[in-house]
Copies of this chain bind each other. A is one copy, B any other.
Amino acid sequence: MQLVKTNNELRTQLNKLDTGCSIGLVPTMGALHEGHLFLIRRSLEDTDFTIVSIFVNPLQFGPNEDYDNYPRTLEIDCNVAAALGVDFVYAPSATEILGRSMRTFVDIKNMGDRLCGAARPGHFRGVCTIVAKLFNLISPDRAYFGQKDIQQFSIIKTMIRDLNFDIEPVMCPIVREKDGLALSSRNVYLAKKERQEATVLYQCLKEANEHFLAGERDAVSLIKHSVEKIETKETARIDYVEIVDEEMQPVSQIAKGDILAVAVYFGNTRLIDNVIMGQDLDV
């Protein structure tokens, strides 16, 4: 496993690969957990050469968000990546990636200003811009993303289509704790009571999916039910509970493949989770 920190070194090393060698990219912000490991293992199975990028991207954090405190565990992450058989960890500094006068931004209309984008203006613009840079630096054949950030996946898939990147986006399922809490680098922020109450998200998604499978198609009613369930928890404060289609547009009649997506604060920690209607929640 090689740790690469600069764009030049990355290009130099990649130029040495055989033609025809397929490259898998797993873009992360580090603090790797089992959810990331799922992506990495999938890339290792699918492609000849796996690159994990680790970059806590300032462009995707708002001014009052947790950029400064976001967990940074590069040494541990590298050990984990090495043990799995990752070829490169690419961990550039902010200066290396953003330079001194970054002026170019990639934006997706009517997808990035809703759901997580409503509470985090500019977030997806920041994500897309950095992912576009990584795509151009690495030219992967496949790029792996988690279903937990399903809006991010949908937006990146749209960017790949619209800008004609020759890259296959792959979405991997949400990995959960035994009690159903979706893995997240932000779970470490949760106090004991918040951690206990946060399992309501899984329970609520599971129940909603069961209602859907039992024939419920009305979005308003399913959302109302979910909101009420979450609001029974003392430390919970809902950001959004929405049902959208694959392109993140709200639906009133639910169809298979639509998504129930939630963002809820437990104390000061904002967690997100989702279920694709008709699909099993458990990996």
Contacts and interface: CB of A to CB of B under 8 A. Distances in A.
A163 interface: yes
Nearest to A111: B103
Contact of A99 (B101, B128, B161): B161
A228 B106 CA distance: 41
B163 A104 contact: yes
A106 B103 contact: no
A70 interface: no
A235 interface: no
A159 B132 CA distance: 11
Contacts of A162: 99, 102-104, 133
A158 interface: yes
B103 A133 contact: no
A175 to B, nearest CB: 29
A187 to B, nearest CB: 32
A19 interface: yes
22 contacts: A19-B19, A99-B162, A101-B247, A103-B111, A103-B158, A103-B162, A104-B106, A104-B108, A104-B109, A104-B128, A104-B158, A104-B159, A105-B108, A105-B109, A106-B106, A106-B163, A107-B107, A129-B163, A132-B163, A133-B164, A136-B165, A137-B164
Interface of A: 7, 11, 19, 99, 101-111, 128-129, 132-133, 136-137, 158-159, 161-166, 247
